[in-house]
Chains A and B, each alone.
Chain A
Amino acid sequence: MTTTNPTEPLGQPTTSVGWTPGFDDAPRRSLLPRPSGSDSVFKSVAVTAGATTVGIMLAVGLFLSLRASSALQVSGFSFLVEQQWSPETQVFGIASILFGTITIALIAMCVAVPLALGTALLISEIAQGQLRKTLITLVDLMAAVPSVVFGLWGVFFLQANVIPVASWISTYFGWIPFFQVTDASGQVLTEASAFTSSAVIAGIVVGLMVVPTQTSVMREAFSQAPNGEREAAFALGSTRWGMVRSVVLPFGRGGIIGGTMLGLGRALGETIAVYMIISPIFTINWQVLKTGSNSVSALIALRYGESSEFGLSALMAAGLVLFLITLMVNYTASSIVARSRSGADSEA
């Protein structure tokens, strides 16, 4: 056996058993990586591709920030608290728009999270074999259905069917401030037209659109719960739900939170379905069942065409705020998901 002290320089032979004299005369092959021609071309092309991607992204970010800054300089802090949107008169802010965006996203979460959680558990714990594969395919397919189709469905089918329910809720649960539907003077409204184009309808449609994203993240997290622990729970006499509650849900907690937030990020940025359903208003509307709401993306879709240079800059500022929020939500979500994947989050 040749024993080589790693600290010694490689060129010096050490006296040991098996050493054959004469071999040290041969020129030593360099062990340093020396890229061949094709390799260096490949490397530089790949690096260029990566740099281009980064370049596009930075261009978007920088361009948005630069163009937004001229509007932000004019409005200053009032951009965040002003409800009106009229850049022509220099009075504009995103308070009501941001409020609408977040309302719709939260309603979407109320619809989406139970559905996604239930479906993810159904796929990972109850469905077996071929059924499971089919369900996974269907979830993926749902993610690919264009949002304009969901919008169509929301406008032409869902709206008419939600109005009676909304009216019923506002009649019997009107004492909860959210569910109240009143006009400006406080008069309770009951006619159907007061319930059209509301944040709730938009929220339901957006909720259905983000379910697939959430389901697939959650399902993946649940399927990683270790079998040993599952079987241990069963061996201790637990029912299937007992096992799910004590093993699968704690292991999948990161997936649940992360998936929910990824869906939230998509819900915040959703445009066309919201634009088709809501009727835009520029006041903060706490009554989610009542006609009228707004969202940043719907505002951009509504106003970009008629905007002047400055108006465009104001829209850019609104878009930038939306982007920063979705970026923050997505980043938090993916870091939570990544941490739970590595197992650092599971203490069981």
Chain B
Amino acid sequence: MLTDTLTPRTAPTRTTTIIPASEGIEIGPRRRVRAVRLDDRFDLIGAAVAGIAVGTLLFGWFTPLSGGVGWTIVSFILFITFYAVLVGMKADREEIKDRVVSVLLASAGVVLFGALIFVVAYTLVRGQNALPHLNFFIENMELAGPLDPLSVGGILHAVLGTLIQISIALTITIPLGILTALFLNEIGGRFAKFVRTVADAMTALPSIVAGLFVYSAIIVLITHQRSGFAAAMAITVMMLPIVIRASDIVLRLVAGNLREAAYALGATRWRTVWHIVLPTARPGLATAVILGTARGIGETSPVLLTSGVTAMTNLNPFSGPMISLPLQVFDFVKSPEPNMIARGFGTAAVLILLVLALFAAARLIGGRGPGELSHGQQRRMLAASARDEQRITIAADRRLLLTSAPASDADPVSDLPAAPDRPALPKEESSS
């Protein structure tokens, strides 16, 4: 499309690329460089079966061993041994090492992700008892005692408390965090270095110490009561460094030539930040904030010291205790009653689902790096630049004709291509 409109003026000398004929050259089947051979697979399966079988024999019949964890460990060790032996039957030492280490690395991954999925699934499954009850989501624990069935009482107060606390924390964290990150990146200087060091040090602050600080500085000295606001302050102290750090990285990734282009066009620093840097980094910043939120929602220990435990719905963050989801989980499972523990797992399941939803949102918004465009954005940009190109070409054509007209003695007006008459690029073609 681009060359079509340019050719009349530039008229390049055409060169032809000669493609050598492929006739007469024997092309064999493509070699698979990284194929897994059939006997490799049999080694793996055979060793696994042998390991499990011998492990079961050891645990069930030959030795007085017991317990699922022990069985897994013994079977795994046996599996690795058998696998090494099987591979060793036809390979040298280096290859045995390579194979065994590959299997070990894969098992590390399996163990880790297995643990992750198991932790989440375990919570969701144990939460099943409480979750189907609608009252779990629309009632609070005011009228429900430890011995009451699951059809009484719920966690509405904790959900509301979490939402209020995280909203207060976000109202402070987002502007302060992003402005600090902007300061670190756009203004810089010696003080910025100091701020960055301090923000890094702040990530090392243990959450319980942040809670202790808010407890003794705000609650003991000023308000004399636990409140949602104090909890929000503690969450803010924890979230702020996370948001600063993540936004700092995102802003650093904004390409320098974009900034320089803005400055070269005469933009002031603020206009560059507002029109160039922030829009470019927007998905990344959103991700930073959402991930910070996910961390902030799950913080238990600072809230434990600052928000106080209550069974009632409290919508006023400035007076009275206001419980949040993680603290409610903690409070439920302290009780020995099975129903309270079931409620605890139900609350934990709600908390996990909330974190998962936030995480999914972060992925959806910020899966791309700064400046990287989505499919639709790319198409719109192509269409816009095609329009620009057309506009510029027409202007150049007119100027060309106007300057050359007196010399060629032709009527300049009739030759002037009117903009709409040109075989214009269809505006919406590339965007549809």
A residues near B (Cβ < 8 Å) are 35-36, 38-39, 41-43, 45-54, 56-60, 63-64, 67, 114-115, 117-119, 121-123, 125-127, 135, 137-142, 144-153, 155-157, 161-162, 164-165, 168, 208, 211, 215, 238-242, 244, 265, 268-272, 275-276, 296-297, 300-301, 304, 312, 315-316, 319-320, 322-323, 326-327, 329-331, 334
Query: Which A residues lie within 8 Å of B273 (CB)?
Result: 42
Q: Which residues of chain B (312-358) have a CB below 8 Å from chain A?
A: 326, 329-330, 333, 341, 344-345, 348, 351-352, 355-356, 358
Closest 10 CB pairs of A and B: A118-B108, A146-B298, A269-B206, A49-B179, A164-B67, A271-B301, A239-B98, A46-B183, A330-B204, A42-B270
**In the complex, which of the residues A39, A58, A115, A142 contacts B269, with contact meaning CB atoms closer than 8 Å?**
A39
**Given A45-B179, A144-B295, A240-B102, 6 other A-B residues pairs in contact with their CB atoms under 8 A:** A63-B213, A135-B113, A146-B351, A208-B115, A244-B101, A271-B300
The reply on B184 being an interface residue by CB < 8 A is: yes
Is there contact, CB below 8 Å, between B94 and A46? Answer: no
Query: Which A residues lie within 8 Å of B208 (CB)?
Result: 269, 271, 296-297, 300-301, 319
Is there contact, CB below 8 Å, between B195 and A334? Answer: no
Q: A315: shortest Cβ distance to chain B, in Å?
A: 6
Is there contact, CB below 8 Å, between B298 and A42? Answer: no
Q: Interface residue tally of chain B, by bracket?
A: 35 or more
Is there contact, CB below 8 Å, between B109 and A135? Answer: yes
The reply on B86 being an interface residue by CB < 8 A is: no
Is there contact, CB below 8 Å, between B212 and A315? Answer: yes
Question: Can you list 23 pairs linking A and B with CB atoms under 8 Å apart?
Answer: A39-B269, A49-B176, A57-B198, A57-B199, A60-B202, A60-B210, A114-B108, A118-B105, A122-B108, A126-B105, A141-B116, A145-B352, A148-B326, A149-B123, A149-B352, A151-B330, A161-B68, A239-B97, A241-B102, A270-B206, A301-B304, A319-B212, A330-B201
Q: Which residues of chain B (283-326) have a CB below 8 Å from chain A?
A: 291, 294-295, 297-301, 304-305, 326
The reply on B106 being an interface residue by CB < 8 A is: yes
The reply on B65 being an interface residue by CB < 8 A is: yes
The reply on B215 being an interface residue by CB < 8 A is: yes
Q: B222: shortest Cβ distance to chain A, in Å?
A: 13
B residues near A (Cβ < 8 Å) are 65-70, 73, 94-95, 97-98, 101-102, 104-109, 111-113, 115-116, 118-120, 122-123, 126, 175-176, 179-180, 182-184, 186-187, 191-192, 194-195, 198-213, 215-217, 220, 237, 240, 244, 268-271, 273, 291, 294-295, 297-301, 304-305, 326, 329-330, 333, 341, 344-345, 348, 351-352, 355-356, 358-359, 363
Q: Given A152-B345, A300-B212, do A141 and B269 touch, yes or no (CB 8 Å)?
A: no
